[in-house]
Amino acid sequence: MRLLARISAGLILWAFGFSLLYALQGTGCAYGWEDASLFGTTMLRWILVATWLLLVAACLTLLRLTRAASSDFERRVTLATVLAGAGTMLITGSPVALTSACA
Res. 58 pLDDT band, cuts 50 70 90:
very high
Tell whether 98 is covered by a domain.
no
Question: Residue 85 is part of which domain span?
Answer: 2-93
Secondary structure of residue 42 in the 3-state scheme: strand
Q: Is the pLDDT of residue 68 over 80?
A: no
Q: Is the pLDDT of residue 27 over 80?
A: yes
Tell whether 35 is covered by a domain.
yes
| Cα three-residue angle 56-71-17, rounded to 5 degrees | 20
Res. 24 pLDDT band, cuts 50 70 90:
very high
Distance CA 76, CA 67 (A): 10
Average pLDDT, stretch 59-83?
A: 87
Q: Is the pLDDT of residue 71 over 90?
A: no
Q: How many folded domains does the chain comprise?
A: 1
pLDDT of res. 42: 86
Tell whether 16 is covered by a domain.
yes
